[in-house]
Amino acid sequence: MADLSVKIAGIKMKNPVMLASGTCGFGEEFSRVFDLNLLGGIIVKGTTLKPRAGNKPPRAAETPYGMLNSIGLQNPGVEAVINEKLPFLRQFDLPVFVNIAGNSKEEYAELARLLGKAKGVSALEVNISCPNVKHKNSGLFCQDLGDVYAITKAVKRKSRVPVFVKLSAEVSDFKETARAAARAGADGLSLINTLRGMAIDIKTGKPKLANVIGGLSGPAIKPVGIRAVYEAFSAVKIPIIGMGGIASAEDAVEYLFAGASAVAVGTASFYDPLTPFKIIKGLNKYFEDNSFDSVSVIRGRVSL
């Protein structure tokens, strides 16, 4: 067995394979399918200060090699997450990253303060790239370098655990965005969030999503994720969790070459819940076959 263990921002993980936020709830459902202890880590559903009902259905549509979603951050709110969801996850030997989303830097800071005090939180993932909630310019927070800096700084000031910033690839200068987060003290980056897309039902002429626009995920977006990780790796020194279309060990290796220290599986676990384990097994084989000692041997080593 190859040694797949990794340490990112001081957090030890058995292997670099995590579940991506928004695709694994708070772990309860997948715990009925497989042993969560075998994962490298879990990034739980986007958590807001108040409970959120989410957007009107239909909320998802299948697209070529991917899907669109406009869930709209449906979650029970930070209090219920702390009191009802985290105790369940504490039963497992599993680093837990909590994804947080707010409408202002003050809300992000308050979430960081509350979750920083909670037991069983290994890190925060700051979601400033959700395509399904409205912000001031109806764009994404991460499209404004000032917001990236200010929100990251505000969270860092309150958080007692490492802070990862989740970005979208839909920004004009990705390297600058990554640098803004790093300058504000981010301990790591999560790349990438879904890309905004749209689909229309040609029988009715109506959008397939009630929210009209949604976030595209799945294998279709993998090359965009690889590009984002590659660019960020050259721009900042902090570790990167790569995500976007990962469905196999080969995809995970590609992200590692681009510069990721760990990877997260999202949409693929919808259609095959055992994807994370197939990836772990495949990574073992790949590292053994190539006699690589550790993940760091290939991290960012794409040869140009």
Applying CB under 8 A, does 124 fall inside the site for other proteins?
A: no
Applying CB under 8 A, does 30 fall inside the site for other proteins?
A: yes
List, by residue number, the catalytic residues.
130
Applying CB under 8 A, does 185 fall inside the site for other proteins?
A: no
Round to whole Å and give the CA distance between 198 and 192: 18
Between 7 and 206, name the residue whose CB sits nearer to other proteins: 206
Applying CB under 8 A, does 54 fall inside the site for other proteins?
A: yes
Binding other proteins (rule: CB under 8 A), the pick from 34, 213, 227, 282 is: 34
Binding other proteins (rule: CB under 8 A), the pick from 23, 132, 190, 211 is: 23
Cα 21 to Cα 75, 130, 287, 298: the distances in Å are 12, 11, 27, 25
Interface of this chain with other proteins, residues 258 to 297, rule: CB under 8 A? 267, 269-274
- Interface region with other proteins, contact rule CB under 8 A, candidates 50-58, 155-163, 166-174, 253-261: 50-58
CB of 216 to other proteins, least distance (A): 12
Binding other proteins (rule: CB under 8 A), the pick from 40, 188, 197, 218 is: 218
Hey, what are 116's tokens? 């920083």
- Write out 149-197 in H/E/C secondary structure: HHHHHHHHHHCCCCEEEEECCCCCCHHHHHHHHHHCCCCEEEECCCEEE
Binding other proteins (rule: CB under 8 A), the pick from 3, 5, 10, 35 is: 35
Applying CB under 8 A, does 202 fall inside the site for other proteins?
A: no
Binding other proteins (rule: CB under 8 A), the pick from 12, 50, 77, 91 is: 91
Between 84 and 272, name the residue whose CB sits nearer to other proteins: 272
What does the binding site for other proteins look like in residue numbers (CB under 8 A)? 22-25, 29-35, 53-54, 57-62, 64-67, 69, 71, 74, 91-92, 218-219, 267, 269-274
